[in-house]
Amino acid sequence: MAIKKELLDQLASRRQKALTSGCTEDKIAARHAKGLLTARERVTQLVDEGSFQETGMHINHDVRGFGFENKDLAGDGVIAGLGNINGRPVTVISQDFMVSGGSLGSRHAKKMADAMAQACTLGTPIISVNDSGGARIQEGVKSLAGYGQVFRQNVLASGLVPQIALIAGPCAGGAAYSPALMDFCIQLKNNSNMFICGPEVIKAATGQEAPLDQFATANAHATVSGNVHFVAEDDKHAIEIIKKLLSFLPSNNLQDPPNRLSSELALERDEGMNEIVPEDGKTPLDVYQVIERLVDANEWLEVHKNFAMNMVVGFARIDGIVVGIVANQPKAKAGCIDIDASDKAASFIMFCNAFNIPIVTLMDVPGFMPGLAQERGGIIRHGAKVLYAYATCTVPLVTVIMRKAYGGAYIAMGSKDLGGDVVFAWPSSEIAVMGAEGAAKIIYKKELETATDRDAKYKELVEDYREKFSKPYQAAESGIITDVIEPAETRFKVALALRSLMTKRVTRPPKKHGLSPL
């Protein structure tokens, strides 16, 4: 006997309602007119065709009053399940703004939390699309409890599987903390915002006029607050970023990153690397030119591009090996490490270490940023985060000292004494407590006071100090660095070091966890 047709029709009807979010074609078309995909379209365009296995399609809301008794909320406003991206399993969660504004209720939250818990069990990356008006106030405190469940799962997944958040619409109040607990945050350039307190609340509490574009947009978060790592032009661009990012990451902390090793290591010199080093030590070196020649073609993804631009971080491949690049950028703030640069670098380093990604550091740093605002803002504790992050690393650490390497900032940027495995220095590097100009004034103070021609004597003493104490050979003689190399040798020397360090294993004393400066 065949199953009754009315039962199949009922199932088809329920599925169709879920697939369209219970909306008419006109409502979906209006969303498209704004340049936005629906929640389900975001999922289907992200994952490989036919690979999505949805969970909880028929879940409905738990509101008992306020006119909700006869309302159906398709999937309770969120889509969740497993799919593949380029053949690799991922967990996808996509909030549906077309269902009650994507508001989070208790079952909506449970659906999200269950999906994240399963991701931890299966070892799959989590991709969460945030497009929600916030807590469903008709459910009262149960919606707040739901946020707590989601946040807890974010924390339990931290360092276990990569977590990527996409801000694709409103993300307000407590909802903003889930993306903040994740590893990478992408925000749409238009039609999205993220904030704790809106303009009206800010004005009521402080009297300040604060338009959303000053603090809630992708541009504000990518440049000022640093909450957003990538800005996407639209949904399609955001999906491209997610796929590119995942191409560098392992699925979980027990796997190695997806290296693409060639059978033979290329050992050619790159004479062009010699040419990009300015003859004058006071002329800024553009670190992007170094990165471009160091990494494999089309294998570079910068992270946090528009935030703290004196520090450059991103993922790359060097002769097929996935690496995290951490680099000072002398063209911004002379490459000094300030509060924001410290946070940016430390966060990235800790992520790489958690997911078995070797770190290549490109150093050209005159020091930590001086100034009253930096001191009062806590440059000591923020700078300590960089020291802590490098010192806790168990992944391979390869450092290239290009030019300036002064004081505590030199120690902080992956120095050998902080745990660097291989530290190369270019002949143009200056490794010292401070720059020769400042050191000469202190060390040779008496000589300068008694000199007949102080300017000439000062220049002479600066060069004397530089020759005796700043050249890389003193560090090499002391074993503080591994070797002095030509810039032209950098790519193959780094590639060779990375190959030799692939078997690195470090056992640390057992403890619950360390305590990073906050």
pLDDT digits (tens, 9 = 90+) for 79-137: 999 999 999 999 999 999 988 888 888 889 999 999 999 999 999 999 999 998 887 77
- When the pLDDT of each residue in the chain is averaged and rounded to a whole number, the result is 91
Residue 446, number of CB atoms within 10 A of its CB? 8
Using 50, 70 and 90 to split pLDDT, how confident is the model at 457? low
**How much is the pLDDT for 416?**
96
pLDDT tops 60 at residue 321: yes
Q: Known catalytic residue: 140?
A: no
Q: Known catalytic residue: 272?
A: no
Q: Known catalytic residue: 134?
A: no
pLDDT tops 80 at residue 467: no
Using 50, 70 and 90 to split pLDDT, how confident is the model at 307? very high
pLDDT tops 80 at residue 62: no
Average pLDDT for 408-427: 96
User: How many angstroms separate the CA atoms of 38 and 127, rounded?
Assistant: 16
Average pLDDT for 204-219: 91
Picking from 324, 321, 298, 296, the residue whose alpha carbon sits closest to that of residue 312 is: 324
Q: Which residue has the tokens 């700043």?
A: 470
Q: Known catalytic residue: 367?
A: no
Average pLDDT for 392-415: 96
Using 50, 70 and 90 to split pLDDT, how confident is the model at 66? low
Residues 6+ apart with CB under 8 A from 8: none
Average pLDDT for 447-455: 71
pLDDT tops 70 at residue 263: yes
24-246 and 271-426+485-500 have identical folds = yes
Q: Which has the higher per-residue pLDDT, 187 or 144? A: 187
Question: CB-based burial of residue 299 (10 Å sphere; 0-12 exposed, 13-18 middle, 19+ buried)?
Answer: middle
Using 50, 70 and 90 to split pLDDT, how confident is the model at 158? very high
For domain 24-246, the question of CATH label 3.90.226.10 is answered with yes
**How much is the pLDDT for 439?**
73
Average pLDDT for 170-182: 92
Average pLDDT for 287-303: 97
* Candidates 101, 226, 408, 438; catalytic one: 408
Q: Where are the alpha helices (DSSP H) in 181-275?
A: 199-206, 218-220, 235-246, 271-275
**How much is the pLDDT for 448?**
67
Q: Worst-scoring range by mean pLDDT, 354-363, 434-443, 475-484? A: 434-443
CATH of 271-426+485-500, picked from 3.90.226.10, 3.90.1150.10, 3.30.420.310, 2.40.30.60, is: 3.90.226.10
DSSP state for residue 17 in the 8-state scheme: H
| Percent of residues, the chain, with pLDDT higher than 70 | 96
pLDDT tops 60 at residue 65: no
**How much is the pLDDT for 493?**
97
**How much is the pLDDT for 466?**
74
* Candidates 157, 216, 345, 409; catalytic one: 409
Using 50, 70 and 90 to split pLDDT, how confident is the model at 69? low
Q: Worst-scoring range by mean pLDDT, 178-187, 310-319, 428-437, 462-471? A: 462-471
Q: Which residue has the tokens 């790159």?
A: 270
Using 50, 70 and 90 to split pLDDT, how confident is the model at 61? low
User: How many angstroms separate the CA atoms of 210 and 190, rounded?
Assistant: 18
For the chain, domain boundaries: 24-246, 271-426+485-500
* Candidates 174, 378, 407, 419; catalytic one: 174
Hey, which bits of 12-162 come out as E strands?
A: 53-55, 78-85, 88-95, 126-132
Average pLDDT for 151-156: 97
* Candidates 159, 173, 226, 378; catalytic one: 173
